[in-house]
Amino acid sequence: MGRLGGFGARLADESKSLNIFWLKKAGYLSGSSIGTITWKLGHQEIVSCVIAIHVFPPDRFIRLTFKVEQPSSKKDQTTDYKIKITTTPCYFGGVRYWFVCPLIHDGIACNRRVAILYLPSGASYFGCRHCYNLTYKTQQRHGCRLYSTFSKYFDLCDKTKDLQEQVGNRLWYAGEMTRKAKRLMKLRRKQLASDSLLDNWDCLH
């Protein structure tokens, strides 16, 4: 997948982006679907991307087809590739979807779970804000708690999953709830709070 060239710090607000929450809201994450996303950047540049999404396990992905202008040849090059989609379980059942960043940095795949992928001007591959070294105007102005929230959420999901596997059905011992089961309940309560925070994520962005 996409290998990274050198990108200096730039603003995420000025890049084309794919937002998993937006795709869910638009009904794209309920099976297999095809659609088009159009970005209007500044006053002139309009870019369209055909998307095909498949979210049936185990093979979940978004396929992107779009044209990238090649400044050297002034010809458009059609780009077509898939990006993996992964899930985390929600407290009340069902799953939450995330992109898996497809970029490779110094021979190491990024593979970060992210809600937003960006395509900076001149790039052919969508990637996460870490790989493209993107910052936010809002982050610069106010400081932004959002991304620490995401990484904490993923930690919580992983810890809950591990502990759930360890505990299995062994919640009780001699009539008392086991320490691990109590800890699992605590983690689940935290996940419930984080889930409702993420459900309102659009308002935070």
Residues near Zn ion (CB under 5 A) are 101, 103, 110, 112, 127-128, 131
Q: How many CA atoms lie within 13 A of 44 on its CB side?
A: 0
Residue 50: strand pairing partners: 36, 65
Nearer Cβ to Zn ion (128/187): 128
To the nearest whole angstrom, how small is the minimum distance from the Cβ of residue 61 to Zn ion? 16
Nearer Cβ to Zn ion (120/127): 127
Q: Tokens 């929600």 map to which residue?
A: 90
Nearer Cβ to Zn ion (4/52): 4
To the nearest whole angstrom, how small is the minimum distance from the Cβ of residue 105 to Zn ion? 7
Quick one: DSSP state of residue 13? Answer: G
To the nearest whole angstrom, how small is the minimum distance from the Cβ of residue 205 to Zn ion? 19
144: buried, middle or exposed (CB in 10 Å: 19+, 13-18, 0-12)? middle
**Helices 146-167 + 179-199 axis angle, to 10:** 150
Nearer Cβ to Zn ion (83/181): 83
Return the percent helix, strand and coil in the chain, to nearest 5: 30, 35, 35
Quick one: DSSP state of residue 2? Answer: P
**120 Ramachandran zone, left/alpha/beta (phi>0; psi -120 to 50):** beta
Nearer Cβ to Zn ion (77/111): 111
To the nearest whole angstrom, how small is the minimum distance from the Cβ of residue 187 to Zn ion? 27
Helices (H) and strands (E) in the chain, counts: 5, 14
To the nearest whole angstrom, how small is the minimum distance from the Cβ of residue 128 to Zn ion? 3
To the nearest whole angstrom, how small is the minimum distance from the Cβ of residue 80 to Zn ion? 20
Nearer Cβ to Zn ion (23/117): 117
